[in-house]
Structure 1
Amino acid sequence: MSYRIVIQTETNRGLKAELYAICRVTDQLVQGAADHEPSFRQIYKDTGMRQIKFMLNNDSVVLEPGILSYSHGNLSFEVVQQQAGQSGGFLGRAVRSAGTGESAYGTRVSGTGEVWTEPTRKHFVFANMEGGDSMLVDDKAYYAAQGSLRLSTHQHTKVQGALSGNGLMQPRLDGEGLLVIESPVSVHEIEILDVLRGETVTVDGDMMLMYTATMNPRLGPLVKGLRNAARSGEGLVYTLDGPGQVFLTPTHIAAGSLA
C-alpha cells in the first residue's frame, strides 16, 4: 500500500503548490504489555518518488508538456504554442530544438480546482518571483509556472559556437508568480552565489541551474589559445558578470546526486 505525505508547500495569490513524498506503508505487529493484546502500527518508508499537486482558485498554471496525471474541478485547458525565437511563452525542453525553428508547446490550466502531475524521482525547487525579477533557466529545468509569469525565449548573442552560430537559447521568466524548477539534486545541495558588481563567476555549464537575467554569460575556453586550452584540461565554460545570483548544483555528477 502506498501513501502520499506533503513535504513542501508554496503559495502565491490563487495558486498553491504542494510537493508530496510517495511512501510505502506496511503494518508491523507490536507486542504490548503482559495484560494487553498485541497491536499493529504503520511503518512508512520513502520510495524516493515525488508528486506535485497544484490547487487553483481562479488562477492559472502553465505546465511542461506531458506531466499532467489527472485533475478535477472547474478547469479549462489550452495548448500554448510558441515559435522559437519569438516573444511570448516558451515551455519545456523544446529549447533544445529552438535552433531548428520547431515550435514549443505547453498546457495552460485555468480556473478553480486541483491538478496532479505524474510521479517522478526528480527533485524540485519551489520559488516565488517578485515583481521586476527576471530569471534564465537551464533548458532541462523548467517544470511549471504561474500564469502571471511571462515566459519567453532568450537568445544570448555573446555566446559563440552554440547552435551553429545562431546563439544559445534558454527559457526566460519575467514578472511575479510561483515557479517550479526540476533539479538533478535536492534543494539542500543547491548553492546560491551572490555576485557583486565587478565580480565574475566561471562555471561548468552542467552545474548551472539558473541565474538572474542581469548576468549575460559568455561561453568559451577557460584560457585563450588552442594550445593553452588543451593544457588546461578544461572544455568550454560559462563566465557570468555581476551583479546577480547564480544557482549551482556542485554535487551533481553523472551518477546523480550524492544525497
Structure 2
Amino acid sequence: MSYRIALSKEQNGGLTAELYAICKVSSQLIQGAAGQEPTFREIYADTGQRQIKFTLQEDSVVLEPGILSYAHGRLKFEVIQQQPGQAGGFLGRAMRSAGTGESAYGTRVSGTGEVWTEPTHKHFVFANMESGDSMLVDDKAYYAAQGTLRLSTHQHSKVQGALSGNGLMQPRLDGRGLLVIESPVSVHEIEMLDVPPGETVTVDGDMMLMYTATMNPRLGPLVRGLRNSLRSGEGLVYTLDGPGQVFLTPTHIAVGSLA
C-alpha cells in the first residue's frame, strides 16, 4: 500500500503548490504485555518518488507538457503555442534546439479545482517571484508557472566558440507569481550566491540552476586559446557579472561521471 505525505507548500494568490512524498506503508505486529492484545503499527518507507498538487481558486497554471496525472473541479484546459522568440524551446523537453523556427506547446489549466502531476524521482523548488523580478532558468529546469508570470526566451549575444547561429537561449520569467523548478538535487543542497557589483562568478554549466536577469552571462573557455583550454581540463564555463543572485547545484554529479 502506498501513501502520500505532504513535504512543503507555497501559495501565491489563488494558486497553491504542494509537494508530496510517496511512501510504502506496511504493518508491524507489536506483542503486548501479558494478558493484553497485540497491536499493529504502520511503518512508512520513502520510495524516493515525489508528486505535486496544484490547487486553483479562480487562477491558472502553465504546465510542462506530459506531466499531468489527473485533475478535478471546474477547470478549463487549453494547449497554448509558444512562438519562437517568445517562449519556444523550453516548454517541450523533446525540443532541444531552441530557436530553430519550430514551436513548443504548454498546457494552461485555469479555473477552480485540483491538478496532480505524475510521480517522479526528481527534486523540486518552489519560489514566489515578486513584481519587477526577472529570472533566467536552465532549459531543463522549467516545470510549471502561475499564469500571471510572463514566460519568454532570452537570447544571449555574448557566446564564444562552440555555439553559433541563434546563440545561447534560455527560459526567462518576468513578473509576479509562483514558479516550480526541477532540480537534480534537493532544495537543501542548492547554494545561492549573492554577487555584488564589480564581482564575477565562474561556474560549470552543469551546476547552473538559475540566476537573476540582471546578470548577462558570457559562455566560453575558462582560459583563452585552444592550447590553454586543453591544459586547464575545463570545457565551456559561465562567467556572470554582478550584481545579482546565482543558484547552483554544487553536489550534482553529471550522468556518466565516475565520481
TM-score tier (shorter): over 0.9
The alpha-carbon deviation at position 163 of structure 1 amounts to 4.6
SS, match of residue 3 in structure 2: strand
SS, match of residue 40 in structure 1: strand
In structure 1, distance between residues paired with 2:165 and 2:102: 17
Residues 89, 98 of structure 2: 8 Å contact kept: no
SS, match of residue 131 in structure 1: coil
Structure 1: runs of 5 or more not aligned: none
Q: Equivalent residue for 1:137?
A: 137
Q: Equivalent residue for 1:248?
A: 248
Deviates more, 1:99-108 or 1:197-206: 99-108
Deviates more, 1:1-10 or 1:157-166: 157-166
In structure 1, distance between residues paired with 2:162 and 2:51: 34
SS, match of residue 223 in structure 2: coil
Q: Equivalent residue for 2:30?
A: 30
Q: Equivalent residue for 1:223?
A: 223
Q: Equivalent residue for 1:101?
A: 101
The alpha-carbon deviation at position 35 of structure 1 amounts to 2.2
After superposition, give the CA deviation of every residue in 1:86-130 in whole Å (9 maximum; x if it has no partner). 379962436622132111110000000000000000000000001
Q: Equivalent residue for 2:173?
A: 173
After superposition, give the CA deviation of every residue in 1:220-253 in whole Å (9 maximum; x if it has no partner). 1111111111111111111000000000000000
In structure 2, distance between residues paired with 1:108 and 1:161: 38
Q: Equivalent residue for 2:236?
A: 236
The alpha-carbon deviation at position 162 of structure 1 amounts to 5.5
The alpha-carbon deviation at position 154 of structure 1 amounts to 0.5
Structure 2: runs of 5 or more not aligned: none
Change (3 A) 1:121 1:88: closer
Residues 89, 151 of structure 1: 8 Å contact kept: no
Identity of aligned residues (%): 85
In structure 2, distance between residues paired with 1:224 and 1:199: 20
Q: Equivalent residue for 1:5?
A: 5
The alpha-carbon deviation at position 164 of structure 1 amounts to 2.8
Q: Equivalent residue for 1:189?
A: 189
Change (3 A) 1:193 1:95: farther
The alpha-carbon deviation at position 254 of structure 1 amounts to 2.5
In structure 1, distance between residues paired with 2:160 and 2:204: 16
After superposition, give the CA deviation of every residue in 1:31-64 in whole Å (9 maximum; x if it has no partner). 1111210011111100000000000000000000
In structure 1, distance between residues paired with 2:153 and 2:94: 10
Aligned residues: 256
Alignment RMSD: 1.6
